[in-house]
Structure 1
Amino acid sequence: MSSVPPESDPEDTNKQSFWMPGNYQRTVKRTEDAFQACNDIVTCFQERARLERQYAQQLSEWSNKWKPLVDTSPLYGSLLRAWQCFLSSADRLSTLHASVCRSLVSEDGDRIRTWQKETFHKKLFGGFRESQDFDVGFARAQKPWAKRLKKLEKAKAAFHKASRKEHTAQEREVHAQGNPDITMEKQRKIQEEREITHQETQKVRARYEKVLEEVTRYAPRYMEEMESIFDQAQEEERKRISFLKQAFLSIHRHLDVTNNESVKAVYNELHNTLMSVSEQQDLRWWKNTYGPGMPTDWPQFQEWMPDKKLKKAKKEVEPKDVVMERSVMIGGVRVRALYDYVGQEPDELTFKAGEQFLKTEDEDDQGWCRGMMDGGREGLYPANYVEVV
């Protein structure tokens, strides 16, 4: 059974986009990450160098211990020379591993440290000049775009607010038409109110469309400037990857110390792994590890299993301040319905014009209040459908 990729919210995905204000920081941070990676690489192979030195010392000690015994052994001829060859091979391996230790420290370690010093320039008060240059470049390119986005968001909010107000006015007009309890004069006022809200909506809509057009017109220039800075950051990252790849290959050459076929196979495999460094494979791995390709444990039917007998927990006594806080919420404001309303959702109230009930929560941003009918039923209702008694 193929796994279904997890659905992601388009709005959340858009917020994570490189083009959104401030999201370039992940690219800027690569400089500091690469500097720290150099420190970790040097420390890692310094430990390996100590292991090589210890192994060389142990080989030498083992050979010196057994040489006198082998030389005075009862063996002779080619058999004796074969035994002695094991010891002389150990001496040569000891020398070789000692040289590996020196190469890892003085050659590979110093090479990475030198490149690190030449590539990363620390600032007086922390951070790196390279990071600051990219940060300033991205911020400069993004500043006018961020201002336009903020202006666009404000225009959109105003348009949605006006549209919501117009929609409410339209509903009031529909409910008022043909209602004998509402005078013609009041119906005329409701109709005028609806026309005013319509005109305001059209006015705000035009402003919103104008700002959107400005943002759309500026987008190509913004993308060009951002991509220009991003390409510079990519080029610096390419140089780092290329250098570290060569550094790894150099370390590999120093560690590949034998022509034994079994050991050679191990180092050939390592060499092939180093030579197979690929941007595409790295990106594919990221996708399958942290992106849409991640495996998901989708819900499956599970049989019911009886729970183990648990000790009853002591009933917690609610603090006094919680009880007092609840008592403050008791009560409300008495309101009277101006129009009939039939709830469209399970959490909405249904009432008729003239009916009275309690308003228990004030109006929210969407134009809804919470109330409680005399029978005890609670729910939401449009704020403009009632008046305070």
Structure 2
Amino acid sequence: MMKCAGRIQLRDRGQTCQRVGKRQVRKLSCKVSRHLIEKRLSIDFEHLKLTPDYAYFAAPSAFEEMSVAYDDSIGVEVSSDSFWEVGNYKRTVKRIDDGHRLCTDLMNCLHERARIEKAYAQQLTEWARRWRQLVEKGPQYGTVEKAWTAVMSEAERVSELHLEVKASLMNEDFEKIKNWQKEAFHKQMMGSFKETKEAEDGFRKAQKPWAKKLKEVEAAKKAHHAACKEEKLAISREANSKADPSLNPEQLKKLQDKVEKCKQDVLKTKEKYEKSLKELDQGTPQYMENMEQVFEQCQQFEEKRLRFFREVLLEVQKHLDLSNVAGYKTIYRDLEQSIRAADAVEDLRWFRANHGPGMAMNWPQFEDEEWSADLNRTLTRREKKKATDGVTLTGINQTGDQSLPNKPSSVSSYEKTQSYPTDWSDDESNNPFSSTDANGDSNPFDEDTTSGTEVRVRALYDYEGQEHDELSFKAGDELTKMEDEDEQGWCKGRLDNGQVGLYPANYVEAIQ
């Protein structure tokens, strides 16, 4: 046992290893005097339920390096969980550390919610993109198609709002809590907080005088009870000795003196007990006042945290409540208007005019020669196109000083030449725009498609074919020009899917 610079260290020589349960502990081979350890370290081994040999392993730091500091709670038995009991102020001190942890928990809570908002927004956007493509390429047409796609527009707009919620939670609420936590709690070198140490020191200082007197009361009480017990034993021995004729008068006199001495000890210990208890009672009001003062300081610190949490949660509520956002109500008002604008009668009328009995028909007439009739029909169709407003264009980009008008198309996506995805039909024979006709001929034209030099070209603008022998493509699509431009400005080409047809020559450019 060595004492150095106010610290006590225990050095053992020749240690052995011994397994106790599942843990490896070191047991001192040298027997250390229980009396010596109790005297130097003031440890009550009976209270700790430990033997001197194993006390080192229960708290090795207490032996290896222990600061000889006074602990108010040593030797004082706590009879209840009352705040006024010695050491029970630690729950109030712990609340300060809990406040720091709760700030961290609230930040983690908001961070997790922000991730959920972001994931939900991304899923809405992906869902809207996928289903918009399916609807636009599908057989639905007319005003009902517009109403259907309005649902996808709603999802895209709501997705933007949820991204705003995510940004508000992280950039405003999260940062606000982080800054408040940093300002309210000040970490020290040893890892604890300054506020926690101040509260701990305040309570210990307020409780130390009263705890010292309480310890004296407990000692006086213990001594008095021991004296009373000794008195009863002495009286019992004296009574038994009177009935024993073998005892001489001298022995009997000793027993009587013992009884008298025990009675005096009882009176002395009782007087001391009552005196120490009175002193404790006199110091109790000051003790309560000092403890109350430190407790109120802790209450004020906790009140700031509680009020701050309430303020932050109200801000979170405002950010999460989309019903208070003006744009949120507008989204569903626009959606309702789009759906109510759907008109079944109008859609049926459009389908009748474009795909039913309302369509124009070149009824068979007498033809002198087949090649002449075909040429006349082709010329008639080309002249008719030049006399009308022109072909329907979508997504036109201006090039230099030349621009082409973007005329709104009344033709539904039902007329698009792309083959329908398998989601809509599993019968390819129902597609009127398939690259293969009913007879299995992949070329709807009679002439040879391999004549001339084939050139790869790229579409400059979107084009939707107006007749069955015309191609449809989007700006940026690549196709193969099979024949040069004719006198009417049309070229013959082939799409990558094998479909062959006509297209305006000035809608494409050669790929360099």
Give your verdict on TM over 0.5: yes
Q: Tell me the equivalent position of 2:312.
A: 247
Which residue of 61, 81, 84 maps to 1:19?
84
Q: Does 1:41 align with 2:111?
A: no
Which residue of 104, 107, 111 maps to 2:169?
104
Q: Tell me the equivalent position of 1:237.
A: 302
Question: What displacement does 1:140 show?
Answer: 0.8
Q: Tell me the equivalent position of 2:286.
A: 221
Q: Tell me the equivalent position of 1:125.
A: 190
Question: What displacement does 1:47 show?
Answer: 1.8
In 1, distance between residues paired with 2:147 and 2:79? 72
In 2, distance between residues paired with 1:142 and 1:13? 14
Question: What displacement does 1:83 show?
Answer: 0.9
Q: Give runs of ≥4 in structure 1 deviating > 3 Å.
A: 71-78
Q: Secondary structure of 1:29's match?
A: helix
Q: Secondary structure of 1:14's match?
A: coil
Q: Secondary structure of 2:180's match?
A: helix
Q: Tell me the equivalent position of 2:202.
A: 137
Q: Secondary structure of 2:79's match?
A: helix
Question: What displacement does 1:45 show?
Answer: 1.8
Q: Does 1:146 align with 2:195?
A: no
Query: More deviation in 117-126 or 102-111?
Result: 117-126
Q: Tell me the equivalent position of 2:129.
A: 64
Q: Does 1:93 align with 2:158?
A: yes
In 2, distance between residues paired with 1:50 and 1:13? 48
Q: Tell me the equivalent position of 2:147.
A: 82
1:340-351 equivalence runs, <5 A: none
Unaligned runs of at least 5 residues, structure 2: 1-75, 325-512
Which residue of 234, 245, 254 maps to 1:189?
254
* Larger relative contact order, structure 1 or 2 (CA cutoff 8 Å, min sep 6): 1
Unaligned runs of at least 5 residues, structure 1: 1-10, 260-389
For the pair shown, which has the larger CA radius of gyration, 1 or 2?
2
Which residue of 179, 182, 186 maps to 1:114?
179
> How many residue pairs get matched?
249
In 2, distance between residues paired with 1:253 and 1:204? 70
Q: Secondary structure of 1:132's match?
A: helix
Question: What displacement does 1:78 show?
Answer: 4.4
State the percentage of identical aligned residues. 43
Give the conservation status (yes or no) of the 8 Å contact 2:78–2:85: no
Q: Tell me the equivalent position of 1:342.
A: none
Question: What displacement does 1:110 show?
Answer: 0.5
Superposition TM-score, scaled by structure 1 size: 0.60
In 2, distance between residues paired with 1:146 and 1:13? 11
Query: More deviation in 194-203 or 43-52?
Result: 43-52
Q: Tell me the equivalent position of 1:179.
A: 244
Question: What displacement does 1:15 show?
Answer: 4.5
Which residue of 28, 36, 40 maps to 2:93?
28
In 1, distance between residues paired with 2:79 and 2:251? 47
In 2, distance between residues paired with 1:12 and 1:55? 57
Distance 1:123 1:58, change over 3 A: same
Please give the per-residue CA displacement for 1:176-203, whole angstroms capped at 9, x wherever unaligned. 2233232333222211210111012101
In 2, distance between residues paired with 1:13 and 1:144? 17
Give the conservation status (yes or no) of the 8 Å contact 2:118–2:163: yes
Q: Secondary structure of 1:214's match?
A: helix
Distance 1:138 1:13, change over 3 A: closer
Please give the per-residue CA displacement for 1:138-195, whole angstroms capped at 9, x wherever unaligned. 0110111111111111211211121111111011112122332323332222112101
User: Counterpart of 2:220 in structure 1: which amino acid?
Assistant: A
In 1, distance between residues paired with 2:142 and 2:129? 21
In 2, distance between residues paired with 1:253 and 1:181? 98
Q: Secondary structure of 1:122's match?
A: coil
In 2, distance between residues paired with 1:166 and 1:221? 38
Distance 1:132 1:12, change over 3 A: closer
Question: What displacement does 1:19 show?
Answer: 1.8
Distance 1:189 1:68, change over 3 A: closer
Please give the per-residue CA displacement for 1:216-272, whole angstroms capped at 9, x wherever unaligned. 11111101110111111122112212211222232233223348xxxxxxxxxxxxx
Question: What displacement does 1:55 show?
Answer: 1.2
Please give the per-residue CA displacement for 1:295-324, whole angstroms capped at 9, x wherever unaligned. xxxxxxxxxxxxxxxxxxxxxxxxxxxxxx
In 2, distance between residues paired with 1:69 and 1:193? 109
Q: Tell me the equivalent position of 1:335.
A: none
Query: More deviation in 58-67 or 219-228?
Result: 58-67
User: Counterpart of 2:252 in structure 1: which amino acid?
Assistant: Q
Please give the per-residue CA displacement for 1:86-114, whole angstroms capped at 9, x wherever unaligned. 11110111001101110111111001111
In 1, distance between residues paired with 2:105 and 2:261? 68
Q: Does 1:159 align with 2:228?
A: no
Q: Tell me the equivalent position of 1:198.
A: 263
Question: What displacement does 1:124 show?
Answer: 2.9
1:260-339 equivalence runs, <5 A: none
Over aligned residues, Cα RMSD in angstroms? Answer: 2.0
Question: What displacement does 1:76 show?
Answer: 4.3
In 2, distance between residues paired with 1:68 and 1:199? 106
User: Counterpart of 1:131 in structure 2: which amino acid?
Assistant: T
